[in-house]
Amino acid sequence: MELNYYGLASANGLESFIKDKTLGRGALFARLFPETEGWNDEISHMIAGMVMSARANTQRYSVVYRARVTEEVAEEVQALLDEGDPESALIVLKERASEIALAQGVPGAKRMWERIPDSSLDPFG
């Protein structure tokens, strides 16, 4: 069974990796990820906060993503994050996710997603 995870990614790797327990049912979520329908205030507020953070940190190539992964991949990504290796976690996510969607509302998200992880892109790194 595949699960949806969402979060922030940047030049430094995965900054967050949150299981979507609502199955993507949120009005704002649906606007940011148009193929999604439904309503859930909690996830909508989280996604809105992530989009605001990504927009405020474009210099770090920050993007908001939704990834569809198996439980096995989710465990591998989480283990890498727990080990303090967000760069490898993002690489595994990008290579093994069956689907990746980027939130609308972050200018240049697709271009940034294609270039990360690369810590040399972070001017504060």
Q: What is the pLDDT of residue 34?
A: 53
DSSP strand E in the chain: where? 2-10, 13-14, 18-19, 63-70, 99-102
Pairing of strands 99-102, 13-14: unpaired
Q: How far apart are CA 45 and CA 65, in angstroms?
A: 15
Domain ranges in the chain are 2-114
Residue 2: pLDDT band (50, 70, 90) is: confident
Is a pLDDT exceeding 80 seen at residue 6?
yes
**15, 78, 100 from 73: Cα distances, Å:** 17, 8, 13
R_g over Cα of the chain: 14
- Residue linked to tokens 């790194």: 125
| Tokens representing residue 46 in the block | 């989280």
Q: What is the pLDDT of residue 49?
A: 87
User: Which residues on neighbouring strands pair with residue 99, listed in sequence order?
Assistant: 68
Q: How do the residues of the chain divide into helix, strand and coil, expressed in percent and rounded to 5?
A: 45, 20, 35
**pLDDT digits 0-9 by tens, 61-110:** 999 999 999 999 999 999 999 999 999 999 999 999 999 999 888 899 99
**pLDDT digits 0-9 by tens, 17-68:** 998 876 555 444 555 555 544 445 666 778 888 899 999 988 999 999 999 9
| Tokens representing residue 20 in the block | 């979507």
Q: How far apart are CA 6 and CA 13, in angstroms?
A: 14
Is a pLDDT exceeding 80 seen at residue 9?
yes
pTM (2 d.p.): 0.83
